[in-house]
Amino acid sequence: MDKHSLFTYDMLSTTIIWTVAGLLGCLFFWLLGDLMRQGIPHLSWEFISEPPANAGRSGGITSILVSTGLILLICMVVALPIGLGTAIFLSEYTAETHPLATFTGRSLDVLASVPSIVFGLFGNAFFCQLLGLGFSILSGGLTLACMVLPILVRTTEQGFRALPLEYRTSAAALGLSKRATLIHLLLPAAIPALVVGFILGLGRAIAETAALIFTSGYVSRMPTSLFDSGRTLSIHIYDLSMNVPGGDQAAYATALVLILCVLTLNSLAQWMAKHWTYTRRMNI
């Protein structure tokens, strides 16, 4: 191939790559722009601070936000200790080739790719029916915990694995116990990864719909206990757009609130991944 055609080939591939990346960016801005165009007129303080009325066509989303918050809270309170424990087990207490580690790791990978509706069916059969929790915020939160566990475990595990091996060997060479090394050295150093995993998991949970229809239900009134059914933002959007004629404006406004929540969480995760790790290492 001569010099000229090499240059043309290079230019062509560069153009294709830029176009594909640009199209992807356009898709995101088109989606966001459409949401803002149709959602902002309906968005107001009252929309945030008032309960829904007229099947959601009017009023606000206070009870929806409260239910969403409670479900996320249960999800993370349950998922965090289990996720952290499993990640520590996988990264610090077993070799990657150990049969139990391989089994747990593969199970997590399969769970991560299971469609959320399957989690919904499982949650309904196990939490709602077998444990008798019924359609409730508790059932929804526990189902979501099962769903976010794989991502939480894998991110935290990678965070531990990314720590220099020298930390462990030099701690061992000082006669420090594994417990002390874990608590005082590895865990503080892995906190940024843990936070990022937590926020990514939270991001996945907050956007979930299918798994919650079968578990937390879709009652839109303000919950008075964790055993009450509760409707999350995503289910509210689904219900308004599919079952409520004239609910499109409220659906767009709710979607905008949801997208803003997800964007905030993602930005927070990215900021922490980039900056917090560095500043933590350099300014203790």
**Interacting residues toward other proteins by CB under 8 A:** 95, 164, 166-177, 180, 184-185, 188-189, 280-284
- Closer of 132 and 164 to other proteins (Cβ): 164
Nearer to other proteins, 63 or 277 (CB): 277
Smallest gap from Cβ 162 to other proteins, in A, equals: 13
CB of 2 to other proteins, least distance (A): 46
Nearer to other proteins among residue 23 and residue 172 (C-beta) = 172
Q: What is the C-alpha to C-alpha distance for residues 199 and 179, in angstroms, rounded to an integer? A: 27
Question: Taking the complex as a whole, how short is the minimal distance between the CB of residue 67 and other proteins, in angstroms?
Answer: 41
DSSP secondary structure string, 35-80? Answer: HHHHHGGG--HHHHHS-EEGGGTEE--HHHHHHHHHHHHHHHHHHH
Nearest C-alpha neighbor of 232 from the set 199, 205, 250, 268: 205
Tokens 């929309």 belong to: 47
Instruction: Report, in Å, the least distance between residue 181 CB and other proteins.
Output: 9
Which residues, other chains included, contact 151 with Cβ-Cβ below 8 Å and sequence gap of 6+? 112, 197, 200, 201, 204
At closest approach, how far in Å is the CB of 153 from other proteins?
22
229 φ/ψ angles, rounded to the nearest 5 degrees: -70, 145
Q: For residues 42 and 280, which CB has a smaller minimum distance to other proteins in the complex?
A: 280
Residue 93, C-beta contacts closer than 8 angstroms, at least 6 positions apart: none
Report the nearest approach of other proteins to the CB of residue 81 (Å): 24
Q: How would you class 248 by CB atoms within 10 Å of its CB: exposed for 0-12, middle for 13-18, buried for 19 or more?
A: middle
Rounded to 5, what percent of the chain is helix, strand, coil? 80, 0, 20
What totals of helices (H) and strands (E) does the chain contain, helices first?
13, 2
> What tokens appear for 92 in the block?
């610090």
Closer CB to other proteins, residue 188 or residue 246? 188
- Closer of 186 and 206 to other proteins (Cβ): 186
Of 49 and 169, the one with the shorter C-beta distance to other proteins is: 169
Question: Cβ of residue 80: shortest distance to other proteins, in angstroms?
Answer: 23
